[in-house]
Structure 1
Amino acid sequence: MGLVPPVHAQRGAPQGPPPLPRAAAPIDLTGYWVSLVTDDWRWRMVAAPRGDVLYLPVNAEGRRAANEWDPAKDEAAGEQCRAYGAGGLMHLPGRLHITWQDDRTLVVEADAGTQTRLLHFDGAAPASEPASWQGYSMAQWELDGPAPGRRGRPMNVKPVHGSLKTVTTRLKRGYFRRNGVPYSENAVLTEYWTTLTDEGVDYLVVTNLLDDPTYLAQPYVRSVQFRKQPDNKGWKPTRCEAR
């Protein structure tokens, strides 16, 4: 009579807990990146005139608010950073410095306005989280292939490529175009971060989807590109400017 293998052996050896987000990263976002202003130069490099909402899906309330933009009023209120919140920051020309704060948190520093975003892999915003310019960003990896542990893939084998998805809420009212085109405190910003390499040069592409029924007739979608730099050359934090 043959020996009967233990039940756990019949079902396969236990795989253990999944790796922490830092170890599980399918792409490397860390380092210094400089923005490539290949489109929308007219609106990204200078502040457009008040009321210029060309190509933006603003509703009637958004158009009204844009026509009432008053940078002097923002300065007097100490809100020069309205155009540097998460809803508009990535579209501003400048540089990013991305690092890991710990195994579950990515840090995205921008020299434009000296802003810092935290991308959290550990769930939703705490109930007590206050609204801020950068809001609260929930992060998760999205894999191009089967997730680890599925379809026979061992838990310790990384996919070839993937992307980062972030969803940002708890935002203060800000501008997604520097000339006062607004998003509200109810806005939700969804972003997809991915990398690619062309002729030995690494690029970061961030696709933004801003959803705000207060000021937008439909979600506003755009992509921005960055080129990786070998060091911090050109890194120059600046203050927020309202005009």
Structure 2
Amino acid sequence: MTRPMTRLRASRILLPAAALSLLLPALLAAQRPANPQGAAPATARAAATDDYTGYWVSEVTEKWRFRMIVPDKGDYIMVPLNPEGRKVANAWDPAKDQASGEACRSYGAAAILQVPGRLHVYWQDDNTLRMDTDSGTQTRLFHFGGSLPTNEAPSWQGYSVAQWGGNDPRDRRDGQGGPVQDPGGRLVVAEAQRKDADYLKVVTTHMRPGYLQKNGAPYSGNAIVEEYFDKF
């Protein structure tokens, strides 16, 4: 079954050479199941806060003209580029990218979840969650408890370190709005309305320089992508 990607939280991207910061969408997760034995799960798969696996399809509800079509050259109003970033964007030449074998610059980890398309998410092994995209035919690997291997070359998807998060509070209403009542019909207020959030945190580094938009708005190889996946 294909599920729409909705209720998207934001991902933060740190772009020291090309841009200041950018908000990107990400998938989303629910409440962590209890561990009746009380012992820490042996693998990331066993400790999963929710089931992210399956097929997902994006719903484009914002920035349509930047995501559904290729913006005009120089149209990077949504990306806070510094002077060097603007210089690179203004020099964008898609034919040159194609000739140099870098046509996938706009499908890197910093941009791929902005690209409309379908995702297939599944466990590659007990500590590696895999995401395949039909747009750009890219593969992202989320490594739980992993660290960047020595001498690994930078790639479009970089190296992603993942962990289950969940120690910051959020409203128990999960966006439903309205007053909260206990089973007896009494109004629940203040901190009693809050619970621990549950989500997947992914930090990606070691990427090849790429584009945040298909018209050459750049990010550098020093970029850091910080994402929070949470569905509700």
Using the size of structure 2 for normalisation, the TM-score is: 0.70
Deviation per residue, 1:10-63 (Å, 9 max, x gap): xxxx96554311011112111111001000000000110111111211101111
Residue 118 of structure 1: aligned partner = 141
Residue 98 of structure 2: aligned partner = 75
| Aligned amino acid, residue 181 of structure 1 | A
Contact kept, 8 Å, 2:166 with 2:199, in 1: the verdict is yes
Structure 1: 4+ residue segments shifted above 2 A: 14-19
Alignment of 1:224-243 (within 5 A): none
Residue 213 of structure 2: aligned partner = 177
Q: CA RMSD in A?
A: 2.0
Task: Give the Cα–Cα distance (whole angstroms) in 2 for the partners of residues 145 and 191 of structure 1.
Answer: 15
Query: Which structure has the greater CA radius of gyration?
Result: 1
Greater RCO structure (CA 8 Å; 6+ sep)? 2
Name stretches of at least 5 consecutive residues in structure 1 with no aligned partner. Answer: 1-13, 147-158, 197-243
Name stretches of at least 5 consecutive residues in structure 2 with no aligned partner. Answer: 1-36, 170-194
> Quick check: 1:189 aligned with 2:203?
no
Alignment of 1:134-149 (within 5 A): 134-144=157-167
Identity of counterpart residues, as a percentage? 53
> Quick check: 1:90 aligned with 2:126?
no
Q: Secondary structure at the match of 1:66?
A: helix
Q: Secondary structure at the match of 1:63?
A: helix
Contact kept, 8 Å, 1:170 with 1:185, in 2: the verdict is yes
1:47 aligned to which of 44, 58, 70: 70
Task: Give the Cα–Cα distance (whole angstroms) in 1 for the partners of residues 88 and 156 of structure 2.
Answer: 19
1:122 CA displacement: 2.2
The total of aligned residue pairs comes to 171
1:102 aligned to which of 125, 134, 155: 125
Task: Give the Cα–Cα distance (whole angstroms) in 1 for the partners of residues 136 and 89 of structure 2.
Answer: 21
Q: Secondary structure at the match of 1:23?
A: coil
> Quick check: 1:65 aligned with 2:88?
yes
Task: Give the Cα–Cα distance (whole angstroms) in 1 for the partners of residues 165 and 222 of structure 2.
Answer: 25
1:145 CA displacement: 7.2
| Aligned amino acid, residue 133 of structure 2 | A
Contact kept, 8 Å, 2:165 with 2:197, in 1: the verdict is no
1:137 CA displacement: 0.2
Residue 24 of structure 1: aligned partner = 47
Contact kept, 8 Å, 1:141 with 1:163, in 2: the verdict is yes
Task: Give the Cα–Cα distance (whole angstroms) in 2 for the partners of residues 177 and 15 of structure 1.
Answer: 46
> Quick check: 1:167 aligned with 2:167?
no
Task: Give the Cα–Cα distance (whole angstroms) in 1 for the partners of residues 143 and 165 of structure 2.
Answer: 15
Instruction: Quickly say closer, same or farther: Cα 1:29–1:15, change in 2 above 3 A.
Output: closer
